[in-house]
Structure 1
Amino acid sequence: MTRRLMLLDTASLYFRAYFGVPDSVRAPDGTPVNAVRGLLDFIARLVLDHRPDDLVACMDEDWRPAWRVELIPTYKAHRVAEEAADGPDTEVVPDTLSPQVPVIEDVLDALGIARVGAPGYEADDVIGTLTDRATGPVDIVTGDRDLFQLIDDARGVRVLYPVKGMATLAAFDEAALRAKYGVDGPGYADLALLRGDPSDGLPGVPGIGEKTAARLLERHGDLAGILAALDAPGRSAFTPAQRKRLTEARPYLAVAPRVVRVARDVPLPEHDAALPAAPRAPEALDALNARWGLGGSLTRLLTALQR
């Protein structure tokens, strides 16, 4: 039987839950648990609406891998906390979100929902690797457009992208991706590195915006085709301004693909991706529920899993 796999870009989703659920949602001791409860409710809806057989919460073991920073030093640099300047990078996270992350991890573990990360890699890389390993259809749930590069109709890989907080999801397949950006899945990575992305500290090619990048990719196929045309003698395929900008950006274009494209060969720990029908550690889950007041959010997820 073909099994449907759902992969959660967990940090992306709990950030959205944090900002989408009021911080008046609190534990009995007054500690905010809005991200915890919002994420549990979101997973419950995903399970009920999309009926995955397997589900993995993919984690950022390293949100800013050194090997990416070595290639592009500005990569996510604006997100580094000032106090981390002389030590390991610490991501800027709202004060009331940071304490909720270990609670999320403990609740997922007690439920028996697989939680997978790998040292030196981001959740995107875990998702890329698990997608490549999958033998059936894959739903990737993320608020990060970088993962559009994994969309593949032939393999049944699509992205479910929250468009209004956590309430509305847009399903992106190849047709939706082409309609919005003019590229296919692999082409999205080339589009992103040409256009740049301030939220990730990717400079892009100055003067090459999204529409120009899409036209160049349509004309030349991919980044390699653009660079080959740039080097080709004879009639120019570029305006003088485009040729100048692309030529000046050659050092960036030489390293950007490795930074922007997700890894697909990450060594991952053994895990059981099967969606649990009942909690793996019910006593631990009861204790977490009592401590953090997870209430209806936990009940709704348990009901969804039983169904």
Structure 2
Amino acid sequence: MTESKEETLLLVDGMALMFRAYYASAVTGYIRRTKAGLPTNAVYGFMRYFLDAVEKFGPTHVACCWDLGSKTFRTAQYPAYKGNRSEAPDDLIPQFSVIREVMDSLGVPNISSEGYEADDCIGTLAAQFSREMNVVVLTGDHDMLQLVNERTSIAIMKKGYGNYFVYTPQSLFEERQLTPAQIIDVKGLMGDPSDNYPGVRGIGEKTALKLVQEYENVEGILANLDKLSKGIRTKIETDLEMLHLSRDLASIRCDIALECDLRSCRWELNHSVVVAKFEELEMKSVCSWMGVQAL
């Protein structure tokens, strides 16, 4: 694996990788399975994405974060939150626990917290550990861009393996003319159809970006309502409560209670454990990707 000049923590958005890995292969109509019939296409794809990122970013430490059920503080605030999501495919459901077992075999802690999402676990760990090392977040979720700072980069996965756009404060501003905190303000205004919260009805991304860029944040916009066109002002005043709620739903929590010892995150493979796990899953090729000799 590539060696890093300084310590780096790779925080893996397990949910994002798992769904991406499943659908990338399921779309072909072929589902990889063990001889016993256990579907493993998401496991196999997950490992391809994960190991490519390990090689690319050369972390000294790794942790993987997960959702823990569909009920969170966000659904308590807004019951329709993510209410438009369909159930996971039958072939994916048994792979949830298998992928976590695989990460265990690699010595990678699986982190989750009751009532919170993987995003909140990632935000909390990034805030905690970026004080002492660089942090790279591996995800496909652009909501994570609010976590960018001088010590935390967000690696957004693009189509195919090994394709990333790595966001820093500089590259985020160059692409969107936004600071990380302004990502939340934009989401509060325009909402998020994928998470099923509306923001201000009638305000789309283009208008939201323009408003935030001109007035800095939601507070700045509200302080200058008299300068807005009548149509925009009326929309905001009509949906003011939903604007504040949507912004809160979009905000990743960075201060939740988590138990994660940095020493347990050190990237060190126990070859015999790794080999045993991938032989059990009939994936000897994965061992060769890691330079681990199969039995």
> Taking structure 2 as the reference length, what is the TM-score of the superposition?
0.89
Deviates more, 1:209-218 or 1:22-31: 22-31
Check if 1:228 corresponds to 2:232: no
State the alpha-carbon separation in 2 of the partners of residues 198 and 187 from structure 1.
Answer: 19
Show the counterpart of 1:148: 145
Show the counterpart of 2:112: 117
Deviates more, 1:167-176 or 1:104-113: 167-176
Check if 1:5 corresponds to 2:24: no
State the alpha-carbon separation in 2 of the partners of residues 301 and 43 from structure 1.
Answer: 11
Determine if contact 1:28/1:292 at 8 Å carries over to the other structure: no
State the alpha-carbon separation in 2 of the partners of residues 204 and 253 from structure 1.
Answer: 5
State the alpha-carbon separation in 1 of the partners of residues 107 and 236 from structure 2.
Answer: 49
Deviation at 1:168, TM superposition (A): 1.3
Determine if contact 2:107/2:265 at 8 Å carries over to the other structure: no
Show the counterpart of 1:275: 267
Q: Tell me, what secondary structure is at the counterpart of 2:104?
A: helix
Determine if contact 1:149/1:188 at 8 Å carries over to the other structure: yes
State the alpha-carbon separation in 2 of the partners of residues 73 and 226 from structure 1.
Answer: 28
State the alpha-carbon separation in 2 of the partners of residues 270 and 70 from structure 1.
Answer: 26
Determine if contact 1:16/1:166 at 8 Å carries over to the other structure: no
Determine if contact 2:106/2:269 at 8 Å carries over to the other structure: no
How much identity, in percent, do the aligned residues show? 30
Show the counterpart of 1:130: 125
| Unpaired stretches in structure 2, ≥5 consecutive residues | none
Q: Tell me, what secondary structure is at the counterpart of 1:77?
A: coil
Match of 2:21 among 17, 21, 44: 17
Match of 1:260 among 236, 246, 250: 250
Deviation at 1:180, TM superposition (A): 3.3
For 1:1-307, list aligned pairs within 5 A: 2-22=6-26, 23-65=30-72, 67-79=73-85, 92-134=87-129, 135-152=132-149, 154-155=150-151, 157-230=152-225, 236-271=226-261, 272-279=264-271, 282-283=272-273, 285-301=274-290, 303=292
Length, aligned pairs only? 282
| Letter matched to residue 294 of structure 1 | M
State the alpha-carbon separation in 2 of the partners of residues 112 and 288 from structure 1.
Answer: 12
Deviation at 1:303, TM superposition (A): 4.5
State the alpha-carbon separation in 2 of the partners of residues 291 and 303 from structure 1.
Answer: 15
Determine if contact 1:64/1:122 at 8 Å carries over to the other structure: no
Determine if contact 2:64/2:109 at 8 Å carries over to the other structure: yes
Determine if contact 2:212/2:221 at 8 Å carries over to the other structure: yes
Determine if contact 2:187/2:247 at 8 Å carries over to the other structure: no
| Letter matched to residue 53 of structure 2 | L
| Letter matched to residue 244 of structure 1 | T
| Letter matched to residue 72 of structure 1 | Y
Deviation at 1:173, TM superposition (A): 1.8
Determine if contact 1:8/1:58 at 8 Å carries over to the other structure: yes
Higher relative contact order (CA 8 A, sep 6+): 1
Deviation at 1:193, TM superposition (A): 1.9
| Unpaired stretches in structure 1, ≥5 consecutive residues | 81-91, 231-235
Deviates more, 1:292-301 or 1:43-52: 292-301
| Letter matched to residue 74 of structure 2 | R
State the alpha-carbon separation in 1 of the partners of residues 123 and 284 from structure 2.
Answer: 34
State the alpha-carbon separation in 2 of the partners of residues 9 and 240 from structure 1.
Answer: 42
Deviation at 1:2, TM superposition (A): 4.7
Deviation at 1:148, TM superposition (A): 0.7
Deviation at 1:45, TM superposition (A): 0.9
Deviates more, 1:139-148 or 1:262-271: 262-271
